Structure 1
Amino acid sequence: MTNFDSNFAHTVYFWLKNPDNPEDRRAFETSLQTFLDNSQFAKTNFIGIPPEASRDVVDGSFTYSLIVTFESAQAQQNYQDEPAHKLFVDKASALWEKVIVYDSVNYK
Structure 2
Amino acid sequence: MFIHSVYFWLKPALSAQDHQTFLEGIASLTEIETVAHGYWGKPAATDRPIIEKGYSYGLVLVFKDQEAHDAYQVDPVHDLFRERCSPFWNRVTIFDTVQEA
Fold conserved between structures, TM > 0.5: yes
The partner residue of 1:89 within 67, 82, 97 is 82
How big is each residue's C-alpha offset from its partner over 1:46-65, in whole Å with a ceiling of 9 and x where there is no partner?
Answer: 10211223110011000000
Question: Gaps (5+ residues) in structure 2?
Answer: none
8 Å Cα contact 1:14-1:62 kept in structure 2: yes
Distance in 1 (alpha carbons) for counterparts of 2:26 and 2:44 = 20
- TM-score, normalised by the number of residues in structure 1: 0.85
Number of aligned residue pairs:
101
Distance in 1 (alpha carbons) for counterparts of 2:2 and 2:13 = 29
Question: Per the alignment, do residues 86 and 15 of structure 1 end up closer, same or farther by CA in structure 2, a change over 3 Å counting?
Answer: same
Question: Per the alignment, do residues 68 and 24 of structure 1 end up closer, same or farther by CA in structure 2, a change over 3 Å counting?
Answer: same
Query: Match of 1:66, as an amino acid?
Result: L
The aligned counterpart of 2:47 is 54
Question: Gaps (5+ residues) in structure 1?
Answer: 1-6
Query: Match of 1:18, as an amino acid?
Result: P
- TM-score, normalised by the number of residues in structure 2: 0.90
8 Å Cα contact 2:30-2:39 kept in structure 1: no
Percent identity over the alignment is 28
